[in-house]
Structure 1
């Protein structure tokens, strides 16, 4: 950009007439006092209270973002920003835009993303509801650190700075409040230089309720964290279930086991078999989810996972699936043979149900693996092959045009 500046102070805006002028004045005073070549940019998301006119009168640049949503407004603002660095923050006067020195210093030192930490900087009385302060933010931030191994202590701080080019490379996609989590997650997975500085949070200056909805937006953040971590959503629970099922099943396969006054028999063996089936299916979902997310840019590619996924070819999966199904069929034949040896009469349920459960578990698991292998391979079809297929199969309108040309 020929007219690129060093810093853009970006504020998403939806009906912030009460506080917008104050925020812009603080941001402009920071640019003036620090001598930074910059701009104040307002990403207006459809305000109807005169916010746009207030922003323009206060000397800010306003860009209209038609698609509604916090993430959509920020994405449009980042795209329109002329600054090499961008510092974004809410336009409700809860953050002090006149004190951004720590963010600028970290960005100039090479950081790709600089997060504010309200818990380290201080939260004014009444600035954050107790449910957010003591439950929502700590829990979601802890899950984010656990899932993605990031050092960030405040995942949802609205005041943050970043290199514009670095964030654009992340190809952020969400349009709602989860945009804040997506930025941190993708920056961490892409091994960006992510840092944190203490930030003070003041009580906002609005008389109306905030746009944030505690349970709705909290669930959206949690859903995003789970969907972007197939390991924690599918793989680890699947491995745990598979391990429990195999261990318990191996112990109970020879016969019932009695511990103290409790007897574990065929019913527990059946539960173990179900754990194996569900565990295998969960692991299959983890492989499919990771392959899809990595291939289409939702999660940055990983050499380790890519090598593992490439080793799981359709042919290898089908081979294991067929072996499982043959094992299950053989166990089923053996069970029927045992029944035939008794002239198809009454049988001991505890004894005869074991081979039947074992047989059906192997058959179902093999069938699941086969279907999952085909699904995973469909996702793995190279893009150029899909395009060739699309070219080879004309649409209905193209076919009508060709028929008209022939006539």
Structure 2
């Protein structure tokens, strides 16, 4: 038996009822190993197949690893962890990728790359191999978002055929259990400074008679949601902070009278909308902070800046409650003063403009105070220690 340290390449395929195409994929992969002279193994990460896929894999010379936890990411991590090669090339077992042509991946890995992605848009997509929704919208948009947010060189984030150094990938501590595992691998590799590259890859129509496991809108949203977890700063923090500052300043300034900019005048109706902008901006800022804390709490190793570390040390359930309560009380006092003034006049008619000019910021402060208190409470929930299996 070949010793573990002699295996250079592990070819890992996740499997869930792939009896129709599994043998073809294994035979192509074995043919590549025989032709190229690469010392390798074929690992089938079975995620609970009930169609005899396990027996087919064994009969064709592959090693089967049973992965009980359901999900694409779980299956792949099970296979990667159990693999013995210095390098791993993973690909779907539906015969949509050609495992007999892995030379470009091996060459880049031997040259020192940590992650080598296939690019289906460069290598070619056969007719019917990818739904138009994925080809022209889903994959290009999500890949573009990934490039913009994380400055990644990868132009096909979701290609199922990719190779990497096994230990480099294990060191990333990948957490995603589903289809978003594909995005996590690229994002964390890029953020961690890994050497990442792409090679052209051809996508064929898969050989299965049943529909694929992928669900377009559900899995597309899961990928997008994952990208949002890793990029709260640019998507929420900065836009939210800008909206909050503009809205708050505008709301407070109109308290003292209308604002006039040339031919444009802003008065109480504008004040109401500016107050709403303040609330939305503040919610975005809180969301960005709590999302980042949640991501770190759940084990997603995302970039941390010194400013955020200092902020995280200062904010807590208690500090949030104190600050929120003070802000709320300021708004409440203004409201009480207004009510007392109205009561002093015998609850008679009021000047609508003058009343709203003060009532709007008072209401805004109470809303912001309440939001701060609730954010502090949620932060307290996140900080509760739990035993994880």
TM-score of the aligned structures, taking structure 1 as reference length: 0.84
Q: Is the 8 A contact 1:295 1:301 kept in 2?
A: no
Matched position secondary structure for 1:127: coil
Matched position secondary structure for 1:8: strand
Within the candidate set 114, 117, 120, 2:116 is matched to 114
265-274 vs 314-323, greater mean Cα deviation:
314-323
Q: Is the 8 A contact 2:279 2:368 kept in 1?
A: yes
Q: Against the structure 1 CA distance between its residues 65 and 287, is the aligned structure 2 distance closer, same or farther, given a 3 Å change threshold?
A: same
Q: Is the 8 A contact 1:228 1:299 kept in 2?
A: no
Deviations 1:369-407 (A, max 9, x none): 2342343355346x6xx78xxxxxxxxxxxxxxxxxxxx
Q: Against the structure 1 CA distance between its residues 117 and 320, is the aligned structure 2 distance closer, same or farther, given a 3 Å change threshold?
A: same
Within the candidate set 347, 364, 368, 2:367 is matched to 364
The match for 1:221 is: 223
Q: Which runs of 5+ in 2 are unaligned?
A: none
Q: Distance in 2 between matches of 1:69 and 1:296?
A: 18
Q: Distance in 1 between matches of 2:219 and 2:377?
A: 36
The match for 2:301 is: 299
Matched position secondary structure for 1:83: coil
Q: Is the 8 A contact 1:294 1:301 kept in 2?
A: no
The match for 2:144 is: 142
The match for 2:240 is: 238
The match for 2:170 is: 168
- 1:278 matched to 2:280: yes
The match for 1:195 is: 197
Q: Which runs of 5+ in 1 are unaligned?
A: 388-407
Q: Against the structure 1 CA distance between its residues 375 and 26, is the aligned structure 2 distance closer, same or farther, given a 3 Å change threshold?
A: same
14-23 vs 252-261, greater mean Cα deviation:
252-261
- 1:151 matched to 2:153: yes
Within the candidate set 28, 53, 57, 2:55 is matched to 53
Within the candidate set 88, 92, 100, 1:86 is matched to 88
Deviations 1:242-291 (A, max 9, x none): 13412432453333457899875323312222222232233123222212
- 1:333-352 equivalence runs, <5 A: 333-336=336-339, 338-339=341-342, 342-352=345-355
Q: Is the 8 A contact 1:141 1:154 kept in 2?
A: yes
- 1:20 matched to 2:7: no
263-272 vs 33-42, greater mean Cα deviation:
263-272
Q: Is the 8 A contact 2:4 2:85 kept in 1?
A: no
Deviation (angstroms), 1:139: 0.9
Deviation (angstroms), 1:360: 2.2
- 1:3 matched to 2:10: no
Deviations 1:55-93 (A, max 9, x none): 222211122223332222212111211112110001122
Q: Distance in 1 between matches of 2:299 and 2:220?
A: 24
Matched position secondary structure for 1:42: strand
Q: Against the structure 1 CA distance between its residues 209 and 363, is the aligned structure 2 distance closer, same or farther, given a 3 Å change threshold?
A: closer
Q: Distance in 2 between matches of 1:207 and 1:295?
A: 42
Deviations 1:164-207 (A, max 9, x none): 22222222232222221122222223333322222122222223
Q: Distance in 1 between matches of 2:115 and 2:176?
A: 18
Q: Distance in 2 between matches of 1:355 and 1:245?
A: 15
Q: Against the structure 1 CA distance between its residues 352 and 217, is the aligned structure 2 distance closer, same or farther, given a 3 Å change threshold?
A: same
Deviation (angstroms), 1:133: 0.7
Within the candidate set 347, 351, 357, 1:354 is matched to 357
The match for 2:378 is: 375
Q: Distance in 1 between matches of 2:378 and 2:130?
A: 45
The match for 1:403 is: none
CA RMSD of aligned residues (A): 2.8
Q: Is the 8 A contact 2:91 2:161 kept in 1?
A: yes
Matched position secondary structure for 1:173: coil
The match for 1:289 is: 291
The match for 2:209 is: 207
Q: Distance in 1 between matches of 2:53 and 2:317?
A: 56
Matched position secondary structure for 1:114: strand
